[in-house]
Amino acid sequence: MLSNRDATQLIKAIVEHQMEIVGPLAIEQANKVSGIQVSGDLQSVSVSGEVIDTLKKLVDQYEELFGQASVEVCKDAIKEILPQLSQRDLPDFLK
């Protein structure tokens, strides 16, 4: 099971990579997701509630606006973090 700390790392990485493509809109979209709060400078990222569900909602939010390519960006974003996580803990939608 992902910890809040792990989920926060994943969210930050995903939002950072989305920002490279769509700019500040990435933060705006992340903040629309229930259970996620991201500061404008990405220095503060918090997650509440069921972390897997919250991560799924974030990926879905980007996919709804930007299509399947944004899901691939999410997967690419977490590649650096993967060695720190158990593959068992990683949700299927991010594999």
Query: In angstroms, rounded to a whole number, what is the distance separating the alpha carbons of residues 48 and 40?
Result: 18
> Quick one: 55 exposed, middle or buried, by C-beta within 10 A (0-12, 13-18, 19+)?
buried
What pLDDT is recorded for position 90? 81
CA distance 83 to 75: 14
Residue ranges of alpha helices (H) inside the chain are 4-22, 25-31, 51-66, 68-77
Asked if 46 contacts 39 with a C-beta cutoff of 8 angstroms, the reply is no
- Give the pLDDT score at 87: 74
pLDDT for 78: 92
pLDDT at position 20 over 80: yes
The pLDDT confidence band at residue 2, using thresholds 50, 70 and 90, is confident
Domain ranges of the chain: 4-82
Dump pLDDT digits (tens) for 45-95: 999 999 999 999 999 999 999 999 999 999 999 988 888 877 777 888 888
Q: Whole-model pTM?
A: 0.91
